[in-house]
């Protein structure tokens, strides 16, 4: 007999052409320990991933999952079956038997991935099958040409299709990677592991890998989009819809580390899993496309990882099928001693000191608040708050509402590990930075290995530049092939003052570029500005000096397109707001440069379609196009953000001797303060005219 679900779940899911959802199901797979593998390849985070996901699914406001409908296969979690190949197959078979048309199914894979020679190399671009590794994985079997008990991408796709064939919609998330490339790590007290398993660990002969790759269909164009592993081919008829999220592309690795970063109760998690559900908890009611875009933005603003997540499927559907709504974060309040308790925590963007409004009803405007409360203690899923209010008079159904978000516009930098000549040189330079105030109040230095760091200064004795300081991400891990694209500063040829000036200048430029994205993240959800925006890649013809129309390809998704020198980037913008809006186009390079491209004013209904950017070979890596839309006052001058322009942080540095939107950006690093706040609530009598930042990510690659 099918279980009864809440009215909220029944009403929450209605997608075009689909039946009303009746039930939500989940299969969560977390594989950590692999008895057949060397212990150094074991993981710790997958069990924590599925625990986090299960707790979120049960409490999410869009479609709460009945705990009886959540199947967990995870070693390391008491009371749950281990994720063996047989158990995973049985879990999928049970879902395919139970679900009905209109149901929703969430699938989650956390653990190791790898690659092995494809059974049909011609069917894969790189000649390799992507595989997920259950805990009972075995070695390569040469007689059959496969890894024992490996779950191959084709089989996963077939199992997903069996569920979709019943008319159920599926969202599948893979927090695993398939690349076995080498990485470098900055010294850190924090445990960071890569979810990568090189084929050699599975005893796959290198000759077999090389032979498969030699017979591949590898595309010569470096801009070619990576194939999404495991996504089944589109089907017609009554097949359920499919959305698939991948933590990394097939040639990348993805990390697990202690999350949330810098918090006392952090634990090892997949960075992708935690970031994904943190974003969803902070932004309920968004679409899969918006969710993917915000995950990418968090990767950039928090320096979490250098990987490129991949998003496939019906991305314009709302997550869990709920109709997109306003961003109003509020939770039921219940008394706990002299404080109020709410079922929201760090995952939902709360921290000690967060301000909340107490309201008698969730439908009340902010102005009807009974009192202001402040968060005292917070965990991942819960918090307590206190305020000046008689709790004996607490109305039934009262809620606590988050009405603003503080943006931390500082940059925390971990010092290099002591014991090397470059570290000693920087110790002397740091004294100069502090005495002269070269970095300003926005830059904070913390000891090596500090978990709160946004960036890490590292030294690699075995690198081509052993005397250099390298500016690493928060995880402190980079693929060896990308080391040349990481900013660094030589120390042996500089006095302490020269080194101080170069490092401080680099850090200030980095902070400005990162903070521009932080402001965009905060305003994206709060703005009332409505626009349609697409990025267009074209190809510059040097003979004619034009961009032929047939070379222009539009992108509107969350996925990151690749571009090479002589490609062009254009924008198609349409103002769907009732009033005029000003636009400013900025380009943030992987070298942390900020270039002002253009600005202007668009009247209601106006459409703009122009090419603005020519890609050069000056730098390669992750770049961003940011379009800032701000409501325009009649007869006012066009908003001009050209003052944000700054030069690049050179890859290898030598020694070198407000009110409104502008006020907000001043605080982002072009002024001196370190914190700002953006209102989140639409429950206001007069909404603030918050600007909208539309951000497009792209990857510049060598031709």
Residues forming beta bridges with residue 106, ordered by sequence position: 26, 171
Running DSSP on this structure, what letter comes out for residue 366?
Answer: G
DSSP notation for 167-206: T-EEEEEEE-------EEE---SS-EEE-B--GGGGT--H
CA neighbours within 13 Å on the CB side: how many for 439? 27
Give the DSSP letter of residue 10.
H
Give the integer Cα–Cα distance in Å for 204 and 209: 7
Beta bridge partner(s), residue 374 = 355, 386
With a cut of 70, list the residues of the chain below it in pLDDT: 1-21, 116-127, 141-145, 178-197, 200, 204-220, 225-227, 229, 231-237, 251, 262, 305, 322-328, 475-482, 524-528, 650-690
Express each pLDDT in 256-297 by its tens digit: 787 887 677 788 888 999 999 999 998 888 899 989 999 998
Supply the pLDDT for residue 544. Answer: 86
Query: What pLDDT is attached to residue 172?
Result: 95
Q: What local confidence, expressed as pLDDT, does residue 12 receive?
A: 34
Domains in the chain, please, with CATH? 7-321 (3.40.50.1460), 334-397 (no CATH), 513-677+686-700 (2.60.40.10)
Instruction: List CB contacts of 275: < 8 A, sequence separation 6 or more.
Output: 295, 298, 299, 304
The Cα–Cα gap between 690 and 334 comes to 33
Rounded (5°) CA angle 682-683-685: 100
Whether the CB-CB separation of 123 and 142 falls below 8 Å is answered with: no
DSSP secondary structure code for residue 549 in this structure:
G
* Contacts of the segment 461-470: beta carbons below 8 A, 24+ positions apart: 461/420, 463/184, 465/490, 465/652, 466/422, 467/421, 467/422, 467/491, 467/492, 468/422, 468/652, 469/416, 469/422, 469/426, 469/503, 470/186
Cα gap 479→511, rounded to integer Å:
23
Report CA Rg, the chain: 26
Question: Cα–Cα distance between 188 and 473 in angstroms, integer?
Answer: 12
**pLDDT computed for residue 691 by the predictor:** 77
**CA–CA distances in Å: residue 120 to residues 127, 150, 200, 383, 418:** 8, 16, 21, 53, 51
pTM above 0.75, yes or no: yes
- Tokens (6 digits) for 690: 């918050």
């Amino acid at each position: 007999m099918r279980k009864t679900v809440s009215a909220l779940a029944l009403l929450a899911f209605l997608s075009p052409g689909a039946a009303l959802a009746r039930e939500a199901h989940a299969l969560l797979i977390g594989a950590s320990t692999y008895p057949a593998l060397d212990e150094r390849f074991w993981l710790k985070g997958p069990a924590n991933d599925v625990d986090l996901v299960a707790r979120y699914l049960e409490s999410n406001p869009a479609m709460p999952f009945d705990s009886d409908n959540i199947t967990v296969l995870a070693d390391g979690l008491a009371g749950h079956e281990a994720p063996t190949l047989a158990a995973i197959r049985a879990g999928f078979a049970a879902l395919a038997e139970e679900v009905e048309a209109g149901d929703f199914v969430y699938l989650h894979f956390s653990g190791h991935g790898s690659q092995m020679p494809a059974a049909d190399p011609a069917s894969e671009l790189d000649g390799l099958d992507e595989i997920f590794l259950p805990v009972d994985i075995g070695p390569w079997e040469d007689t059959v040409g496969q890894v024992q008990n490996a779950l191959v991408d084709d089989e996963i796709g077939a199992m997903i299709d069996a569920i979709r064939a019943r008319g159920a919609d599926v969202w599948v998330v893979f927090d695993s990677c398939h690349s076995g490339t080498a990485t470098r790590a900055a010294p850190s007290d924090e445990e960071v592991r890569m979810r990568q398993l090189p084929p050699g660990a599975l005893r796959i002969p290198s000759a077999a890998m090389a032979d498969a790759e030699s017979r591949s269909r590898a595309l010569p164009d470096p801009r070619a989009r990576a194939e999404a592993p495991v996504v089944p081919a589109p089907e017609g008829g009554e097949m359920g819809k499919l959305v698939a999220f991948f933590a990394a592309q097939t040639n990348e690795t993805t990390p697990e580390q202690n999350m949330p970063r810098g918090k006392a109760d952090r634990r090892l998690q997949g960075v992708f899993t935690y970031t994904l559900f943190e974003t969803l908890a902070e932004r309920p009611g968004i679409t899969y496309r918006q969710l993917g875009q915000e995950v990418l933005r968090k990767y950039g603003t928090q320096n979490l990882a250098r990987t490129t997540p991949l998003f496939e499927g019906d991305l314009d559907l709302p997550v869990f099928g709920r109709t997109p709504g306003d961003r109003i974060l509020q939770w039921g309040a219940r008394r706990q001693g002299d404080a109020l308790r709410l079922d929201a925590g760090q995952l939902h963007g709360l921290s000690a000191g967060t301000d909340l409004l107490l309201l008698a009803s969730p439908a009340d405007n902010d102005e009807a608040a009974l009192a202001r409360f402040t968060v005292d203690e917070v965990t991942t899923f819960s918090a307590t708050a206190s305020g000046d209010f008689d709790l004996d008079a607490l109305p039934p159904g009262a809620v606590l509402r988050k009405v603003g978000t503080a943006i931390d516009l500082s940059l925390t930098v971990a010092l290099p590990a002591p014991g090397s000549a470059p570290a000693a040189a920087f110790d002397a330079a740091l004294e100069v930075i502090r005495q002269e105030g070269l970095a300003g109040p926005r830059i904070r230095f913390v000891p090596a290995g500090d978990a709160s760091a946004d960036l890490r200064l590292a030294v690699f004795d075995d690198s081509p530049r052993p005397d250099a300081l390298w500016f690493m991400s928060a995880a402190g891990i980079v693929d060896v092939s990308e080391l040349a694209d990481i900013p660094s500063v030589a120390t042996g040829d500089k006095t302490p003052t020269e080194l101080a000036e170069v490092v401080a200048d680099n850090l200030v430029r980095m902070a400005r570029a990162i903070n521009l994205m932080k402001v965009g993240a905060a305003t994206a959800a709060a703005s009332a500005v409505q626009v349609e925006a697409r990025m267009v890649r074209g190809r510059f013809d040097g003979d004619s000096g034009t961009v032929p129309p047939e070379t222009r390809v539009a992108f509107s998704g969350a996925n990151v397109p690749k571009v090479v020198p002589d490609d062009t980037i254009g924008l198609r913008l349409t103002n769907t707001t009732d009033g005029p809006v000003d636009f400013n186009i900025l380009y943030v390079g992987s070298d942390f440069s900020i270039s002002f491209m253009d600005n202007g004013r668009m009247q209601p209904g106006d459409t703009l379609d122009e090419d603005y950017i020519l890609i050069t070979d000056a730098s390669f890596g992750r770049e961003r196009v940011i379009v800032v839309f701000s409501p325009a006052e009649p007869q006012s001058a066009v908003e001009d953000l050209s003052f944000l322009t700054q030069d690049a942080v050179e890859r290898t540095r030598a020694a070198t001797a407000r009110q409104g939107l502008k006020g907000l950006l001043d605080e982002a690093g072009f002024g001196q303060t370190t914190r700002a706040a953006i209102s989140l609530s639409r429950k206001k009598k007069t909404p603030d005219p918050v600007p909208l930042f539309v951000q497009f990510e792209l990857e510049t690659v060598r031709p």
